[in-house]
Amino acid sequence: MQTHEIRERFTDHFVKAGHEAVPSASLILEDPDLLFVNAGMVPFKPYFLGEQNPPFKNGTATSIQKCVRTLDIDEVGITTRHNTFFQMAGNFSFGQYFKEGAIKHAWALLTNPVSEGGYGLDPERLWVTVYLDDDEAADIWENVVGIPAERIQRLGMADNYWHMGVPGPCGPCSEIYFDRGPEHGAEGGPAVDDTRYLEIWNLVFMEKERGKSTGPDTFEIIGDLPKKNIDTGMGVERVACLLQGVDNVYETDLLRPVIDAAEEITGAKYEGDGPDAIRFRVIADHSRTGMMLILDGVTPSNEGRGYILRRLLRRIIRSARLLGATGETMERFMTVIMDTMTPSYPEIAENRERIIRTAVTEERAFLKTLESGTHRFDEAASAIKEQGITQFSGEDAFTLHDTYGFPLDLTLEMAAEAGLEVDVAGFEAAMSEQRARAKADNLAKKHGHADVSVYREWVDNNPTEFVGFSDLTADATVLGLVINGQSVTQAVEGDDVEVILDVSPLYAESGGQTADRGRLVSEGTILEVNDVQKVGKKLWVHKAKVTAGGIELGQRVSAEVDEAWRHGARQAHTGTHLIHAALREVLGPTAVQAGSLNRPGYLRFDFNYTEQLTPEQLEEISTIANQAVDADFPVNTIETTLDEAKKMGAMALFGENYGNDVRVVEIGGPFSIELCGGTHTEHTSQIGPVAVLGESSVGSGARRIEAYSGMDSFRYLSKEAALASGLAASLKAPSEELPERIASLTEKLRAAEKEIANLHRQQLASQTGALLDQAVEAGQFTVLTHRLPDGVSGGDLRTVATDLRGRLAGKPGVVVLASADGGKLPFIVGATKEAIELGVKSGELVKLLSGYVDGRGGGKPDMAQGSGSNAEGLDAGFRAVREELAGL
């Protein structure tokens, strides 16, 4: 039975049982706890928590959810059980049926004959586990379903108590296992051997809410969920193994074709469980996961989701090379996996070109660095082994990362293959500045788990009525007040407070558009609203400061939007649609939106594209957008169903989880039609001029266009015109000749700088011989420590140090030089062959000197460099180096 049919049978079974079929959500959801959707229940979490009422007519649903788990990336291929991407088929009940219903549904599908829509599994080969004290579930299995007591096993919290790994819904569970036979392991059920007894379905009795972890497998139980729910997960890939009669998921109809393609490309054979077999499995698994991530809008980058994708693709590339591939392989792998997955995910077909281009671009970029980086690794590893050392230095690992683009995990893999460990602590120290910047960036993006339990009483009982599409003021009643995460009854002047209203005209931040600013006013009371956020997609939370009077529950207020703010935001948001339409006209339909930001007067638009735009393309995009402004197109909004919107050709944003009812924004008929919940101008002429500032890279395969709109655009263009006029006057040239005149001056300046640099090097070279007169004896060594004049670069230091070391050849000599250059203090240590034979390691001396000048550095025994910031410690550092050498 093919995997596509397994999926169809699952959905049909539960639809016939009254469940509503729900399509898989994107792998990327707005959940601060999760990088990717990692379980079938994740899209339903608000319903389990009681934050929202489930929109399903019978209170039940079924889905086959795309999932990615990345904690086991290093285990992929080593075992045949770990996969980064998998499909979780599930049925869900929100306060309807509970344990008995879930158990009966699962048993029927698994054991019903194939002719009756089931999977036809032998009931005598099915075992189950239940939580330690779950007598109710055990009784249902034995006395309702009829499984003998000896095939029902009780396990502890680590095995039979399900949770997401983070605070959220949880509960005891019952797992269903299939006995694959004695050739796969020992008898005794899943408690004895969970390889022979393969878990295929987990029935979670979702009734509790967990808090933070208190130990490896323990956590605080906050309390009961509002209702007793059912969340089940059947592993589609595992069932496919059983129904297709194969040993593991790599032999199924989805992944085996990729392995076959890899055999053809590399000339190697997939057999056994050795290193080559592991590489074949890595290629197959990562090709599928990478393809699905690209499908859902992820592009390779150096952080977050993009880093995971980059890591997966680079592991494919390197595995293929180690198997014998000599050219590009990614297009073939992506084509094969798209062919196997398209029957289940038809949207792959319309994204094939984009998926291939993203993967191939990453491959080409990595191949450029892989060969040189591998050569650098091999050199360093050989030098380490020659010295009898088993640890690859953190400095070398950082060099591979910083210079060759090697992520640490790739260095770890290569080091393990070479029998070496990596000084991870040293690498982390070298990366500390980058990590600090990333941490600050994450905080700025408001990442992290937020406790929204305080809002629950309003989310479903009092969702906010948004009237801001038509009105900028509205009379409203204060339903709730929150200060520092606690519900309160009043707030007074000076308080920062979150206000929940029954009606609001203020736009809550979403879809890339920033929130409205405005005021809440009543007699003697003024609150300045500086932000509006959504909770559960239904509740508007107005973040405000009480600037006069006070506010209390039940009070009537006038909610007012700052008209100037809204006008600027509407201009920017509508301008973004024009930029998007112009972009697709110039670059084609594969330039897919990857995110946006709109605030009054400013917009930025991210899109998936692998090449830098030319000045001509940017100018054309700007022209098309402003022609649309000049055409005064009407901007129409249409509320319709999601299916109808797709039929109209409306574009959707990757990662957005749209409901059944959507809002379509149409500009100029076919010129632009998109799903969008933002605020817009009535006509394009109201946007004013759109000034494109430029475009830039925001990661591999992702670009960003930035622009001004309205008066901000006018001010920018006026400033640019004034600047050009001033330059023309200074250079005594017409403005149209400025580019040529400036290019000529720049070329002359570069030539002058080059000449000065050459003269500088000649001057240094002429002084080299004289510097040796300052060398002193330190124990067995001739040592020169000297601070060169300010302004000598690190490159020039190396040139001088190499010359001086050559002049000391034949004796144990060490050269230590430094210079202040632009606020930094580059320094270098060089040692002759004779000094190295006596135990000198330039890298160790650089580390010693670094401690005195607040710096860092590293290198090989014969030459090592570093940079510091504290020139006052240089003399003490020189003295410490001489003392260290004297003691050898």
User: Tokens at residue 333, please?
Assistant: 């792998």
In the chain the first and final C-alpha atoms are separated, in Å, by: 73
Smallest CA-to-CA distance from 701 within 612, 637, 628, 639 is with: 612
Which CA distances in Å does 507 have to 33, 258, 471, 473, 839? 25, 48, 11, 12, 70
How far, CA to CA in Å, does 624 sit from each of 576, 620, 668, 672? 13, 6, 13, 12
Q: Is 573 annotated to bind ligand?
A: yes
Which H or E run includes 693? strand 690-697
Q: Are 124 and 150 in contact (CB under 8 A)?
A: no
C-alpha–C-alpha distance, residues 237 and 344, integer Å: 13
The amino acid present at 820, given as its one-letter code, is A
Q: What token pair was written down for 221? A: 């139980």
Distance CA 313, CA 286 (A): 7
For residues 167 and 220, give the distance between their C-alpha atoms in angstroms, rounded to a whole number: 9
In contact, 182 and 209? CB cutoff 8 Å: no
* Amino acid letter, 420: L
Query: Are the beta carbons of 121 and 159 closer than 8 angstroms?
Result: no
Distance CA 607, CA 621 (A): 14
Give 417-460 as a DSSP string. Answer: HTT-EE-HHHHHHHTHHHHHHHHHHHHHTT-S----GGGHHHHT
The most distant pair of C-alpha atoms in the chain lies apart, rounded to whole Å, by: 98
Report the C-alpha gap between 20 and 59 in whole angstroms.
9
- Give dist(CA 229, CA 99) in Å, integer: 9
CA nearest to 296, candidates 511, 29, 44:
29
Q: Give the helix ranges, DSSP H, for 177-303.
A: 236-244, 256-266, 275-295
Q: How far is CA 319 from the centre of its chain?
A: 23
- Angle (CA) 51 54 57, round 5°: 160
d(CA 247, CA 242): 8
- 449 among annotated binding-site residues: no
CA-atom Rg of the chain in angstroms: 33
Pairing mode of beta strands 218-235, 863-868: unpaired
DSSP 824: B
E strand segments, 398-554: 421-422, 465-466, 473-483, 486-488, 490-492, 496-501, 503-504, 518-522, 525-535, 539-548, 550-552
Cα distance between residue 359 and residue 463, in whole Å: 43
157-187: b or e for each residue (b if 16 or more CB lie within 10 Å)? eebbbbbbeebbbbbbbbbbbbbbeeeeeee
H or E element, residue 665: strand 661-667
With left for phi above 0 and alpha for psi between -120 and 50, is residue 453 left, alpha or beta?
alpha
- 673, 682 in Cβ contact below 8 A? no
Give the C-alpha separation, 488 to 485, whole Å. Answer: 9
- The annotation status of 577 as a binding-site residue, yes or no, is yes
Q: Which residues contact 565 (CB under 8 A, 6 or more apart)?
A: 516, 517, 518, 600
User: Known binder of ligand: residue 676?
Assistant: yes
Separation CA 888–CA 881 (nearest Å): 11
How many other CB atoms are there within 10 angstroms of residue 883's CB atom? 12
How many Å apart are CA 498 and CA 549, to the nearest integer?
A: 16
Q: Which residues are annotated as a binding site for Zn(2+)?
A: 573, 577, 676, 680
List, as residue ranges, the binding site: 573, 577, 676, 680
